[in-house]
Amino acid sequence: DIQMTQSPSSLSASIGDRVTITCRASQSISTYLNWYQLKSGKAPKLLIYAASSLQSGVPSRFSGSGSGTDFTLTINSLQPEDFATYYCQHSYTTQFTFGPGTKVDV
Amino acid sequence: EVQLVESGGGLVQPGGSLRLSCAASGFTFASYGMHWVRQAPGKGLEWISYITTTGSNTYYADSVKGRFTISRDNGKNSLYLQMNSLRAEDTAVFYCATNCAMCYGGFDPWGQGTLVTVSS
């Protein structure tokens, strides 16, 4: 099975900061990589699919890049509503593994 | 409005069974594969199971294979998860989610989740 890792596991940031989260797959997954935002008590939200495509309705300050095994989620100009936990997930096979998450707090 | 609403969660004893349901509305349910995903307390998201549009193919994480069964009723716009031989480590919020075919297999939308607690 494909394993997903993320770094860092948590980070502290301020409003207006640029935040970068890294995700690595244990084998090549082409661009079958998705990013989600999870806030306490809310449904997870798809932010980025296919490594770099912005899901409809998601603010343009979110962007994704990468292919193969290494991927990045970037949040430009962090906003108060962006404090949350972010997960990467592959959809390369039918074992849809999530990364362990990165918590972004103040 | 596209909506997924889970139900059926609750408290169950170790070794017991529970059946979760997910009611879909606002989209053509029969056209989409569906997933179950869970989040244990203090833990991350864990993909549990996937079912194709007609229900002809199902897939499971190793952690639940042989104990959980995913199914669907397209006539009722509903997804199900039959959970048997439950363990304390199955305690989690369970979410249903739609396989977004236009999104390279991303999951969107998701339900709000239903809490399952396995405890004596």
Q: What are the tens digits of pLDDT across the range A46-102?
A: 999 999 999 999 999 999 999 999 999 999 999 999 999 999 999 999 999 999 999
- A4-22 burial, b for 16+ CB within 10 Å, e for fewer? bebeeeeeeeeeeeebebb
Distance CA B104, CA A62 (A): 18
Q: Which of B1, B34, B107 to mutate to test the interface with A (most CBs of A within 10 A)?
A: B107
Inter-residue contact A55 to A63 (CB < 8 Å): no
**Which residues of chain A neighbour B103 with C-beta distances below 8 Å?**
34, 46, 49-50, 53, 55
Residue B104 pLDDT grade (very low, low, confident, very high; cuts 50, 70, 90): confident
Interface touch A46/B105, C-beta < 8 Å:
no
| pLDDT reading at A106 higher than 90 | no
Inter-residue contact B25 to B33 (CB < 8 Å): no
Extract the tokens encoding A41: 């008590």
Query: What's the pLDDT score for residue B102?
Result: 87
B→A contacts (Cβ < 8 Å), by residue, are 35, 37, 39, 44-47, 50, 59, 61-62, 95, 97, 100, 103-113
Average pLDDT for B115-120: 97
Distance CA B94, CA B47 (A): 10
Average pLDDT for B71-92: 98
Interface touch B44/A100, C-beta < 8 Å:
yes
Interface touch B112/A42, C-beta < 8 Å:
yes
Distance between B43 CA and the closest CA of chain A, angstroms: 8
Question: E-assigned strands of chain A?
Answer: 4-7, 10-12, 19-25, 33-38, 45-49, 53-54, 62-67, 70-75, 85-90, 102-105
Distance CA B78, CA B30 (A): 9
| pLDDT reading at B38 higher than 90 | yes
SS3 A43: coil
Give the Cα-Cα-Cα angle A92, A95, A101 (nearest 5 degrees).
85
Residue B101 pLDDT grade (very low, low, confident, very high; cuts 50, 70, 90): confident
Inter-residue contact B1 to B109 (CB < 8 Å): no
Interface touch B106/A100, C-beta < 8 Å:
no
Average pLDDT for B49-70: 97
Average pLDDT for A25-43: 96
Residue found by looking up tokens 């935002």 in the block: A37
**Which residues of chain B neighbour A31 with C-beta distances below 8 Å?**
104
Query: What's the pLDDT score for residue B7?
Result: 97
Distance CA B24, CA A66 (A): 34
Q: Which of B43, B102, B103 to mutate to test the interface with A (most CBs of A within 10 A)?
A: B103
User: In whole numbers, what is the pLDDT of chain B averaged over residues?
Assistant: 97
Q: Which of B48, B108, B115 to mutate to test the interface with A (most CBs of A within 10 A)?
A: B108
Distance between B56 CA and the closest CA of chain A, angstroms: 14
Inter-residue contact A29 to A79 (CB < 8 Å): no
